[in-house]
């Protein structure tokens, strides 16, 4: 194949992916450095060290790309947003559970970034990010299995034969006979519950240490909302005699000293909640029972409003860094 002879500028998709990754990885570096300063388990420490190495290498690569393209480097998060001397806020057990969910987010994000990239070097970069995140995920799962803390999804028995759907009740759920959940529906529900559990623990811990009363109120509201959503999904599983993921709320310590700035805490929660809307939508897309699909739609609406309120709080506090914008043509014309 012939080499491209003209200069290929970054697309908006590539800029968006790089900018978002820079923000997320600078935040992750703060969290991982603090976690490394507190962790006592050697196996979990090795996972955190690998995760830190990955995140720091990403920051350097993104900086180089932005400098070459003459794009401003985002502010992101710095050492001013973390207090390494703060006492442990979470146990070692929760640290590895947290890393498990964050690795899942990373793999999802990097796969999407490959699909929205055009330039060869950017595609190669995100393919490499995918490989790194998959290796990190593998190490995390191995540690969790070894320590007996991996919350496995519900199991179902193998089918005795292949069947075809031949009755309309397969799609119903509100009235009359309900069929058992299928494997895709179980997986989607369990997957979303794993993420919800981690948000509950984070909101509990962060509400305990944050400085702003307004932020504390927002976090407690989020904890209540997430518990409500977890209960709804758990009820669907229990109606089919299926187990729910483990709750990790007891893994928060009694510390009241914040390891992180309120700005980082709010950004992290809003980012997780916004991502949750997408994961709930994925669960909805694979649900073939109408009652479950409608429950997903309700959960998305609730959590979407919560995310929007969080973004408004970030703006009111002056904590929201503006993503790259399109040229304001009206403004340019008025000021020529």
Q: What are phi and psi of 282, to 5 degrees?
A: -65, -40
Q: What CATH number was assigned to the domain covering residues 12-79+86-147? A: 1.20.1260.10
Q: How much of the chain exceeds pLDDT 90, in percent?
A: 74
| Helix/strand/coil for 26 | helix
Buried b (16+ CB within 10 A) or exposed e, 299-324: bbebbeebbeebeebbeeeebbeeee
Residue-wise pLDDT for 30-62, tens only, equals 999 999 999 999 999 999 999 999 999 999 999
Q: Where are the domains of the chain?
A: 12-79+86-147, 168-317
Give residue-wise pLDDT tens across range 205-234.
999 999 999 999 999 999 999 999 999 999
Instruction: Give the pLDDT score at 168.
Output: 57
* Predicted confidence (pLDDT) per residue in 258-290, tens digit: 999 999 999 999 999 999 998 999 999 888 888
Domains 12-79+86-147 and 168-317 share a fold: yes
DSSP state of 326: -
Provide the 3-class DSSP secondary structure of residue 82: strand
Residue 151: band (very low, low, confident or very high) from pLDDT cuts 50, 70, 90? confident
Question: Would you place residue 303 in the very low, low, confident or very high pLDDT band (cuts 50, 70, 90)?
Answer: very high
* Best CA proximity match to 144, nearest among 279, 251, 39, 41: 41
> DSSP code of 116?
T
DSSP label of 81: G
**Confidence band of 1 (pLDDT split at 50, 70, 90):** very low
Confidence of residue 157 (pLDDT cuts 50, 70, 90): confident
The DSSP output letter for 119 is S
Express each pLDDT in 79-112 by its tens digit: 999 999 999 999 999 999 999 999 999 999 999 9
Q: What is the pLDDT of residue 4?
A: 47
Query: Which alpha helices (H) appear in the chain, and where do they start and end?
Result: 12-38, 42-68, 92-115, 120-147, 183-209, 213-238, 262-285, 290-317, 329-334
Write down the pTM of the prediction: 0.90
Fold of the domain built from segment(s) 168-317: Ferritin (1.20.1260)
Residues 6 or more apart whose CB falls under 8 angstroms from that of 66 comprise 18, 72, 73
Structure tokens that stand for 221 in this block: 């509201």
Tokens of 114: 């490959």
Q: How far apart are CA 249 and CA 97, in angstroms?
A: 12
């Amino acid at each position: 194949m012939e080499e491209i002879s003209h200069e290929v500028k970054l697309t908006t998709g590539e800029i968006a992916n790089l900018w978002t990754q820079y923000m997320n990885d600078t935040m992750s570096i703060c969290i991982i450095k603090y976690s490394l300063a507190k962790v006592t388990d050697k196996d979990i420490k090795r996972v955190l060290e690998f995760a830190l190495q990955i995140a720091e290498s990403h920051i350097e690569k993104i900086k180089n790309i932005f400098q070459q393209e003459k794009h401003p480097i985002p502010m992101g998060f710095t050492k001013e947003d973390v207090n390494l001397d703060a006492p442990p806020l979470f146990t070692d057990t929760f640290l590895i559970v947290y890393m498990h969910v964050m690795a899942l987010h990373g793999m999802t994000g990097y796969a999407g970034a490959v699909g929205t990239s055009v330039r060869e070097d950017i595609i190669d970069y995100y393919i490499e990010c995918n490989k790194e995140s998959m290796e990190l995920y593998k190490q995390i799962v191995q540690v969790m299995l070894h320590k007996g803390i991996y919350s496995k999804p519900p199991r179902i028995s193998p089918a005795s034969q292949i069947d075809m759907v031949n009755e309309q009740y397969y799609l119903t759920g509100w009235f009359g006979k309900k069929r058992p959940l299928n494997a895709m529906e179980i997986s989607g529900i369990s997957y979303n519950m794993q993420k919800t559990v981690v948000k509950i623990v984070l909101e509990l811990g962060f509400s305990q240490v944050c400085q702003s009363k307004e932020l504390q109120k927002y976090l407690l509201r989020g904890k209540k909302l997430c518990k409500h959503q977890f209960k709804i999904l758990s009820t669907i599983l229990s109606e089919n005699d299926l187990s729910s993921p483990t709750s990790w709320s007891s893994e928060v310590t009694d510390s009241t000293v914040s390891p992180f700035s309120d700005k980082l805490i709010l950004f992290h929660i809003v980012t997780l909640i916004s991502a949750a809307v997408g994961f709930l939508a994925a669960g909805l897309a694979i649900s073939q029972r109408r009652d479950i699909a409608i429950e997903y739609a309700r959960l998305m609406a609730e959590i979407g409003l919560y995310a929007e309120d969080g973004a408004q709080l970030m703006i009111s506090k002056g904590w929201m860094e503006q993503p790259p914008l399109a040229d304001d043509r009206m403004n340019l014309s008025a000021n020529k």
